Structure 1
């Protein structure tokens, strides 16, 4: 644990006490949301981001230790492990350092150096590499035999062995890594015959492209690598060859004037061309790819967080519409809890054009099911359907929303959807998803693989394991920051609650089905397999609205109930009188209640929660209307200013939905009249904005927008 603590501190510069306490809590299977919210005294008030970083470094350290053990075991089996080598491996600070040390002992395929060793030429290589200055041909004569026919063969075999030695030299590799990191160029060239391929035109800027690798932004690197994967271009990493070979020579040539120096130089040249350059360039490209992956995942994570924490309409009766042309518009009516009450189709658009009948049906359904709001998916025929709905004369005011339907089709065909609606087809399930997203985006979107939600940047190209880990952490953070109604939440939503997971979530849902509504947090302990640890981790994130204990519908942890009861007693009031009463709460001196296990950070959180218990931190949904003049991209003209909604954010700008099929791009340079380095500092997902059209490319269906103003 001490080495792990040192490793984390070295990579984060966080205080030692906080790191040690956090690592201890993680070892005890505490979750990040629980530690960040309810163990602030132990961690020194570290936030969720810092705790997540500690968790990642803990995993990285454990992976490093596991690799060290494997390498040590392998070298020991070869009877080649010296005390010095063992110490070097144990003290290695990175996986790269471990692999460099292990490289000479790796079992290799039949290499040129291996063949030369079998011929007994390794001693000759040692002589030539030494400072002795022995004449190469004279030395090589001793090794000519039935396996080595000539002096030239002997010298070439020795050069092959030296080339491998040089390529396995950790210092040499580090010199080249530094050179590549500072001076490498990344280039892309078109594969012959692809220049005229229509499908490859989206990559045409990379048909002849070159730039310093360190300047290449993540989105451009990932685009080039995707183009290479699709067989459109070839990507290469390179540095000045003469400079690289010269650096290696200076590192390994012990006597420049010796007779054998020319053989060593030949070994350096061959070692660089055959072994070092391919290995180091691939390693550098792999590291650049990893950094680009991390950047893209960070962008996706940020977008996903904003999307999940999007404004909910709340518990309303909603009519959801999945619009379409020939197949009609699928309509569903949902109650306040998202239960399906009714479904049918209307056909207001071509080819049927039954708009009058459709409007009559909409009026009838709104009245029959006391609908309070209408959610329209933003896919095919969305604008026409929205126009129809707004044209319909309802008996009362009905709020109309256009909802992002990305991923609804994925949900509709999923096992979760089949389980929820076994008797309905995918069209009904998709419409239900659209309606539920308006009521509570978080509760509905957790049922969908985050990659399918449509707010990423190259999410299908990046490291999928890392992507899943990061996105799961974002979903868990969002779910626990909002809190979950234990009696209405789906198993998908409950599964992200701190300490619960998919298995216990199913147990809770089954318990509800058998026993009825859960009436208190304490009752959770009756759920099969939900023990004290799971209760500790989860209880404060689960809301029980029907409980007799008002704290059960708050973010106050059960372990702190006694403290709040003492606060109320000291004020001479009932607990219920204290909740929400700012006058009483202002009279509480938190310092009075500090103890060995609870301090001011937690006490201040408790007081904030008492003011507004169970408050949803999300904004409320607001109605938005697109320009009535835009129906298709042909209606868009340079110079016009139109309203839009930010529907995706990348490192190079944001995409804005202006009410047509194609979203427009606001490049980072057009976000503001001031210099912008971080897109998220200017816009957020689902933000309502006014944008000016700069350019429309009808052939490529691309729209350039600006938010910079005049």
Structure 2
């Protein structure tokens, strides 16, 4: 709790209270609205920060346990080492401590150790003013009956093996890794260039800006990092995160090169090799992951902010609506909806690319629908042919009281082919379902958009490149926050909308809709307790976010918790 309080700047008492409420099954919206006295009035963002950091610390503790177990099994865990492991506050520090003891694949250093050259490496470090030739000769065993893998042909091979052992020790040095990491974070450069032979590839043209590009790692914008990584993934670009070799080797030499002489020269070679061949590639890998994580966080935050703005757009309300999904060759799919969003009629109008006769017929049919269904608003999807469709409709000189509104149609095609749409309109094809979705988005954006996977709404960049689990968590949080901020009408909400209410899930939402269908709607919030599998805890979490219009209890239509 103290760690989270220090990192977030939130009072430790508030952190502890929030952690307790989350552990008891409290949701973020419920805690934020109805447990202010316990948390010290923390908002949703602060509560989410506590929750997410708790998850990270649990993961850190899990890794700590597995490391200790690995060391114990190999009899490598000393009291001093355990103390360092227990004190590690981040995953990077924990992995640095474990690095020298991590079971390794067959490396140059492990091969040298198998040849018995580790004592020579120790001798070089301890006798840096001496000449190592005589000492190295003692490890030559070419004339013996030793296994071929363990033979040392001459003194040069012995010294090379000893240098490999020292190089690996340098790369695994916990303190050095920490200092090198800070240098990479502050001074590294992100550089990209075109993959050899791809500069004339037509597909690579979209990455032309990055054919010869470099900028500081710590200031590179999220969108640029994600663009370069995508170009690399598609094999058009090569990306490097670099620091000059001497910048890192200068850090290591004072700790490892402690004398002058032939042996010290061997150690210096080993240090440089360890930095160049082992430590720096390891740091670059870390920075690539850190850069990706930072870029993901920014992109996901933008996505979530845009989604929230779309979900909380002002609804038109219950008005009879004509919705048009524009098109050229295939025509404009057009539907009439009643004030509750039910489908009354559908047709196809050739209003954008047809003959003069088709344009005339489309105008007659459209005005006829407006009159017949007493249309109060017109929604036009903002996709292909939207401007042409809007111009066609406005030329009809409709009554000024009928607004013509452009609607974001991103994800409508996903909805139209979904199980939800098939369940709502089993006898209609996908074009009709898509047009219905456009109309309903105008009437009530929140209620309609929750039916679509948030990632398909298309309000962010590089959504397929970012961490998908983190994206889903953020978008789910955003939808849940929006739904609970507005509140839900219990007797009309779809099961998809109800599933986002605090304390409910898809199964309970389905049970509520089934109960509502069977019993003719709820007359009070207390009747929720009769819904199968909806217990006291779920009722406590959900009740304050559900509304019942014209309930016999006046507060059932408010945000006041029962």
| TM-score normalized by the length of structure 2 | 0.95
**Residues 64 and 85 in structure 2, CA contact (< 8 A), matched pair in contact too:** yes
Instruction: Please give the residue correspondences for 1:108-119 in structure 2 after superposition, counting only pairs within 5 Å.
Output: 108-119=104-115
Query: For residues 525 and 255 of structure 2, what CA distance do their matches in structure 1 show?
Result: 68
**What's the CA shift string for 1:263-301, capped at 9, x where partnerless?**
211111111121111110111121112111111111111
Corresponding residue to 1:302 among 301, 305, 321: 305
Query: For residues 73 and 519 of structure 2, what CA distance do their matches in structure 1 show?
Result: 60
Query: For residues 486 and 352 of structure 1, what CA distance do their matches in structure 2 show?
Result: 48
Query: For residues 423 and 477 of structure 1, what CA distance do their matches in structure 2 show?
Result: 34
Shift in Å, 1:259: 4.3
**Residues 131 and 258 in structure 1, CA contact (< 8 A), matched pair in contact too:** no
Question: How has the CA–CA distance of structure 1 residues 248 and 518 changed in structure 2, closer, same or farther, with 3 Å as cutoff?
Answer: same
Give the gaps of 5 or more residues in structure 1: 559-710
2:148 maps to which residue?
none
Query: For residues 202 and 311 of structure 1, what CA distance do their matches in structure 2 show?
Result: 37
**Structure 2 residue 11 is the aligned partner of structure 1 residue 7:** no
2:132 maps to which residue?
136
Give SS of 1:260's match: helix
Shift in Å, 1:143: 2.0
Shift in Å, 1:355: 1.9
Shift in Å, 1:397: 2.8
1:561 maps to which residue?
none
Question: How has the CA–CA distance of structure 1 residues 6 and 199 changed in structure 2, closer, same or farther, with 3 Å as cutoff?
Answer: same
**Which range moved further: 114-123 or 425-434?**
114-123
Corresponding residue to 1:495 among 496, 499, 502: 499
Query: For residues 225 and 368 of structure 2, what CA distance do their matches in structure 1 show?
Result: 54
2:442 maps to which residue?
438
1:272 maps to which residue?
275
**Residues 129 and 259 in structure 2, CA contact (< 8 A), matched pair in contact too:** no
**Structure 2 residue 324 is the aligned partner of structure 1 residue 321:** yes
**What's the CA shift string for 1:15-41, capped at 9, x where partnerless?**
111111101001111011101100000
Query: For residues 255 and 375 of structure 2, what CA distance do their matches in structure 1 show?
Result: 78
**Residues 520 and 546 in structure 1, CA contact (< 8 A), matched pair in contact too:** no
2:535 maps to which residue?
531
1:183 maps to which residue?
187
Query: For residues 490 and 131 of structure 1, what CA distance do their matches in structure 2 show?
Result: 79
Instruction: Please give the residue correspondences for 1:49-88 in structure 2 after superposition, counting only pairs within 5 Å.
Output: 49-88=45-84
**What's the CA shift string for 1:644-674, capped at 9, x where partnerless?**
xxxxxxxxxxxxxxxxxxxxxxxxxxxxxxx
Shift in Å, 1:215: 2.4
* RMSD value, Cα: 1.5
**Structure 2 residue 201 is the aligned partner of structure 1 residue 197:** yes
2:288 maps to which residue?
285
**Structure 2 residue 459 is the aligned partner of structure 1 residue 449:** no
**Residues 312 and 446 in structure 2, CA contact (< 8 A), matched pair in contact too:** yes
Give SS of 2:346's match: strand
2:349 maps to which residue?
346
Instruction: Please give the residue correspondences for 1:304-453 in structure 2 after superposition, counting only pairs within 5 Å.
Output: 304-353=307-356, 354-394=358-398, 397-453=401-457
**What's the CA shift string for 1:658-702, capped at 9, x where partnerless?**
xxxxxxxxxxxxxxxxxxxxxxxxxxxxxxxxxxxxxxxxxxxxx
1:580 maps to which residue?
none
**Residues 321 and 378 in structure 2, CA contact (< 8 A), matched pair in contact too:** yes
**Residues 484 and 543 in structure 1, CA contact (< 8 A), matched pair in contact too:** yes
Q: Which has the higher contact order (CA 8 A, sep 6+)?
A: 2
The structure carrying a bigger helix percent of its residues is: 2
Corresponding residue to 1:163 among 167, 173, 187: 167
2:98 maps to which residue?
102
**Residues 93 and 178 in structure 2, CA contact (< 8 A), matched pair in contact too:** no
Give SS of 1:214's match: helix
Shift in Å, 1:454: 2.0
Query: For residues 545 and 60 of structure 1, what CA distance do their matches in structure 2 show?
Result: 42
Instruction: Please give the residue correspondences for 1:217-232 in structure 2 after superposition, counting only pairs within 5 Å.
Output: 217-232=221-236
Question: How has the CA–CA distance of structure 1 residues 212 and 393 changed in structure 2, closer, same or farther, with 3 Å as cutoff?
Answer: closer
Shift in Å, 1:395: 6.4
Give the gaps of 5 or more residues in structure 2: 145-150
Query: For residues 218 and 211 of structure 2, what CA distance do their matches in structure 1 show?
Result: 20
1:39 maps to which residue?
35
